């Protein structure tokens, strides 16, 4: 077994708590290993990112698939210091954003396609929820493509979805017109440290064959909770209060408080019809 094959099997086992068959002669294992060991970073070195590299990564990201070739994703590179400071001020709970060499905002763009109809004097007849959903998916694919492209060059990233808590103010700072909306921010930089692999639910919970089946969901979540706690105990310092909380306990606490209840109102104000 090659070292890369062994490393890939070990990474997947740590991630999912299961054993995976990896053919020794399977091509592309270096890229698969990079994906399997992905981690979100919130600390960077002070090494700047060359502007041409950032633009190159943007071009690679925007090469992602697009629903019906409608091209409904845009990236805003927040470079001006005053604008960037204003964006960062929207999320005071994340002061580490300020040290990231680059801050991007990935946007869904339903405006460009509507402009095509307006220029032709034609009514836009697809004004419904799908008209919002499609650019959201396009922007998400572009952001994931950027993260993968960045990893190939040694860069690391951290998505900032909490920017949507202040979506109206963010849209004002970045001068987004109607039918353009933020999907997520993204901090980019060179890693200051190595991050451990965070576990995921087993494939028994998330990989389905022929039909969706969550009959064993409770047991699979319990199994994941145990691995989650073990992982925390392995990589985090001991807590004075005892064992770390489980994943399901953490998420239940997090979402016990309403979040982004005004998101629908913001999207409708962008002139999207969500019916």
Which domain CATH number covers 79?
Answer: 3.40.109.10
Last residue of a domain, one of 154, 170, 195: 195
Q: Quick check: 153 and 53 in contact, CB under 8 A?
A: yes
pLDDT digit string, tens, across residues 142-173: 999 999 999 999 999 999 999 999 999 999 99
Tokens 């708590």: give the residue: 17
Does residue 58 share a domain with residue 187?
yes
Residue of 241 and 67 predicted with greater confidence: 67
What does DSSP say about strands 156-160 and 180-189: parallel, antiparallel, or unpaired?
A: antiparallel
Identify the DSSP state of 10: H
pTM value is: 0.94
Does residue 106 share a domain with residue 7?
no
The reply to whether 67 falls in a domain is yes
Query: Domain span at residue 14?
Result: 3-36
Which of 60, 2, 76, 18 shows the shortest CA–CA distance to 199? 18
The reply to whether 208 falls in a domain is no
The reply to whether 230 falls in a domain is no
The reply to whether 123 falls in a domain is yes
193 contacts: CB under 8 Å, gap ≥ 6: 41, 43
Q: What angle do CA 44, 4, 224 make, to 5 degrees?
A: 70
Identify the DSSP state of 191: B
Does residue 91 share a domain with residue 157?
yes
Starting from the edge strand earliest in sequence, which strands make up the sheet with 102-109, in order?
Answer: 73-77, 102-109, 180-189, 156-160
pLDDT digit string, tens, across residues 69-81: 999 999 999 999 9
Does residue 78 share a domain with residue 143?
yes
Q: Is the pLDDT of residue 241 over 90?
A: no
């Amino acid at each position: 077994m090659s070292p890369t094959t062994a490393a890939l099997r070990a990474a997947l086992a740590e991630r999912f708590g299961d054993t995976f068959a990896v053919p020794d002669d399977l091509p592309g294992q270096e890229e698969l290993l990079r994906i399997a060991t992905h981690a979100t970073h919130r600390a960077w070195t002070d090494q700047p990112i060359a502007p041409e590299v950032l633009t190159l990564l943007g071009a690679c990201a925007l090469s992602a698939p697009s629903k019906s070739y409608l091209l409904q994703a845009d990236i805003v590179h927040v470079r001006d210091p005053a604008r960037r400071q204003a964006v960062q001020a929207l999320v005071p709970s994340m002061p580490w954003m300020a040290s990231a060499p680059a801050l991007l905002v990935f946007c869904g763009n339903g405006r460009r396609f509507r402009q095509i109809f307006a220029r032709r004097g034609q009514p836009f007849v697809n004004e419904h929820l799908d008209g919002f959903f499609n650019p959201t998916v396009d922007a998400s694919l572009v952001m994931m493509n950027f993260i993968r492209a960045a990893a190939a060059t040694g860069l690391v990233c951290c998505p900032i979805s909490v920017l949507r808590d202040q979506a109206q103010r963010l849209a004002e700072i970045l001068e987004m017109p109607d039918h353009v909306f933020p999907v997520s921010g993204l901090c980019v930089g060179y890693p200051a440290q190595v991050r451990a692999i965070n576990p995921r639910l087993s494939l028994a919970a998330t990989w389905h064959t022929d039909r969706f089946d969550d009959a064993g969901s409770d047991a699979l979540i319990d199994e994941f909770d145990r691995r989650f706690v073990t992982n925390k105990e392995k990589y985090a310092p001991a807590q004075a209060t005892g064992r770390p909380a489980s994943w399901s306990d953490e998420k239940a606490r997090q979402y016990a408080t309403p979040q982004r209840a005004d998101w629908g109102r913001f999207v409708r104000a962008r002139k999207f019809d969500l019916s």
